[in-house]
Each structure stands twice: as structure tokens, then as C-alpha cells.
Amino acid sequence: MERKWYQSYDKEVKKEVDLDKYDNLPHIFDEMFHKYPDKDAFISMGHSITFRETDEQSNRLANYLTNELKLKKGDRVGIMMPNCLQYPLCLFAILKAGLVVVNINPLYTPRELEYQLNDAGVRAIFAWEPAMKTLETCLSKTAVEHIICTKLGDLLPFPKGFIINSVIKYVKKMVPSYNLPKAYSFSEAITLGQNGTFQNKEIDIQDIAFLQYTGGTTGVSKGAVLTHYNISANISQAGHWLRHSLDENSEVVITPLPLYHIFSLTANCLTLGSIGAHNILITNPRDIPNFIKTLKKTPFTVITGVNTLFNALLNHPEFKDIDFSTLKIALGGGMAVQSATAQKWKDQTGKPIVEAYGLTETSPAACINPLDIPEYNG
């Protein structure tokens, strides 16, 4: 079969990659954690955790899920939170334990949440505190047995974490009153998970890793079944495409799109994480003034986003004060980037927006521009 897209490949890019290099996703994680142990992996609200800390804390959570909650291989575990340090720990823990990740939008209504929990067969869920009332409302109509509640500042040092949690609850009043007495706190889960040493689980490359829900274009949200092979293959493909433009152990990535969405999950957290990139997690990208402040004080090399986000940044008066001298790649996905937005971005940053296209069902990247394009090409 003639594959005309090969004509667009950089001469250094192989036409095929070894999709059998990894046994499962935890195999990729082990390589990443051992390669960059003391490098910062994730930062949120000014506090970083290293790859070593990510590994250790996620092992404790994996222990908790299997030893304390007695979850079995293949059981479904939900994650319902915005971008924060807790998210990657939960993600890695679930996958290490041989369980299935079910990502859930933390802004879901009770009806939407009830449907997804039942459709996926979720047995346990990590949820941030503002979503607990929603969870309480529909809990009796689901099969959820275990709840782990986290507050946004739980992994931040004192007094910062305490202040953030207090502001969210008492000043912004984002936490409706709820009654879930059997819910564990995130810190309790970490503490209970310290008992014993985590043992790697037997996970086949064809085992399910994610039930990733996607709205598509019609009807209710549907859970795309993604295996360890699906995701590891896409990490290998995308990683090989990126490796000639990015450097291991040195990239700083702005992550404003929610990690519960397939784009940010695979591009930022998994693919770029696998080369030792430092993910700067933006909890609320709709707060453009605070987002701009983060961009102004942090030299970064990669930013991912959707057209509406790029446009919102460009229209803020302080956007012109951001230093883009270290920027290597601005990656647009999730929706088509408009030419006017792309042109304005290039004019102000000196870098084009590189577009990628994919589907949740293709886990997700299907095609991407050459990274060295001089201009947006539509």
C-alpha cells in the first residue's frame, strides 16, 4: 500500500516504531521514574513533586487500592478532579494496580455522573471535595463502594494547602454541604498504603487501561475501551515524532487542558512525561489573569491548548509581557485552530501553532503536523 504521508516525515523519523517494546503502561512508568528520579515531574500552585516522589506516592495508593479496598484486576476506578498534584498519583496508582481508569469531568451534574458510574461499573472513586455533594446525590443508584475525597491543597505544604482549602470552602463557597461518612480522605489513603511494599501486578498488554468517555456527536457520552497496548503504542509513536525537536530531561510543559481529557492525558502527562518533561498543571485555565501570571514567571518550552484557549490568552492585555524566547512547540488540538488565531499567535510569539488531530477512539493521536513547519498550514 502506498503511504503518501511518509513524504512529510523528517528524514530522521522512522517509518515504523517498535510497538512491542513495552509489556504494559507500568513498564513505561518504571522506565520514566528510574531515568529521571530527582527531576521535577509535576508542579501545581507553586509546589513541585519529583518523579521519585510520584513513584513512591502512587505505589502507596496502589497498595491502598489492592490491600485495603481489596479491588481486583480489571475493577473500574474513577478519577473526578481538575488538574492538581493528586491526579497523576491516582492515575499511576490505578494502572500499576492492574485496575481500569475511568476519567470523570468534575463539573458533571448528578444525572451525568450517575450514568457514567453505572455505565462503567465504577467500584471506587477519587473525587475532589467540591464534587462530593454531586456524588452523594446519585451514590445510592450506583455500585460505588469506596470513596476517597481530596481537597485541592492536600499535597501542598502547610500553611499554603490549609489556606487554599479554606478559601475554596469558606470564601469561594465551592463546597456544598455533604454527608458521606464512609469516605476516606486522600491523606488517609496514602497513610494506609504505606503498609507493605508494593508488588508489580501481572498486566497483559491487551488488558484494558481506560474506559475513556467521549461525547462524540450524538446521544450520551460513550466509554471508549483503550488497552495498555493502545496507549503505549501512541506514546511510542508520538514520542518518536517529538524526540528530534525536544530534549530529554529538560522540557517544561504548560498543561492547561484537563488531564481527564484524552488530549492532555496522553500528550502532556504520558508522552511528554515519558521524556522527563516537567508538567506545570493549570487548575483553572478559565482564570486567564492568573494563567497569564504563571506564564510570565515560568520559562516554558511547550504549551498545548485548544483554539478558544489560545484566543483568550491572545486577547488579554498582559499577553505581550510573556517571554516566549524558550518556546519550542505550541500544540493545538481538540478542535480546529482558526487561521486568524494562528496568525496572531505567530505574530506575537514567533512560533506557529502545530496542529494534531485525533479521537478518543484512536487513543488518541492520528496525525500531526511536522514540528518544524514555519507557518500555520491549516
Contacts of 68 (CB under 8 A, 6+ apart): 189, 192, 193
Element (H, E) at 99: none
Task: Give 218's pLDDT tier (boundaries 50, 70, 90).
Answer: confident
Rounded-to-integer distance, Cα 249 and Cα 238, Å: 17
In the prediction, which pLDDT does 217 show? 67
**Predicted confidence (pLDDT) at residue 307 exceeds the cutoff of 80:** yes
SS3 364: coil
Rounded-to-integer distance, Cα 130 and Cα 8, Å: 47
**Over the stretch 159-185, which tens digit does the pLDDT of each residue have?**
999 999 999 999 999 999 999 999 999
Q: Of 376, 272, 257, 251, which is closest to residue 326 (Cα–Cα)?
A: 251
SS3 60: helix
Angle at 278 between CA 277 and CA 281, to 5 degrees: 130
Q: Could you tell me if 64 and 190 are in contact, meaning their C-beta atoms sit under 8 angstroms apart?
A: yes
Rounded-to-integer distance, Cα 89 and Cα 60, Å: 9
Q: What is the pTM of this model?
A: 0.97
State the pairing for strand pair 329-332/100-103: unpaired
Contacts of 156 (CB under 8 A, 6+ apart): 44, 45, 47, 85, 164
Rounded-to-integer distance, Cα 309 and Cα 353, Å: 12
Bridge partner residues of 330 (DSSP): 303, 353
In the prediction, which pLDDT does 2 show? 81
Q: Could you tell me if 153 and 163 are in contact, meaning their C-beta atoms sit under 8 angstroms apart?
A: yes
Task: Give 11's pLDDT tier (boundaries 50, 70, 90).
Answer: confident
SS3 366: strand
Q: What mean pLDDT comes out for the span 344-351?
A: 97
- DSSP for 278-314? EEEE-S-TT-HHHHHHHHHHS--SEEEE-HHHHHHHH
**Amino acid, single-letter form, for residue 286:** R
Q: Of 340, 375, 327, which is closest to residue 354 (Cα–Cα)?
A: 375
Q: Which residue is it, cell 510520584? A: 54
Query: How many other C-beta atoms lie within 10 A of the C-beta of residue 118?
Result: 14
Q: What are the start-end ranges of the E strands in 81-140? A: 100-103, 122-128
In the prediction, which pLDDT does 105 show? 96
In the prediction, which pLDDT does 14 show? 87
State the pairing for strand pair 329-332/76-80: unpaired
In the prediction, which pLDDT does 216 show? 63
**Predicted confidence (pLDDT) at residue 317 exceeds the cutoff of 70:** yes
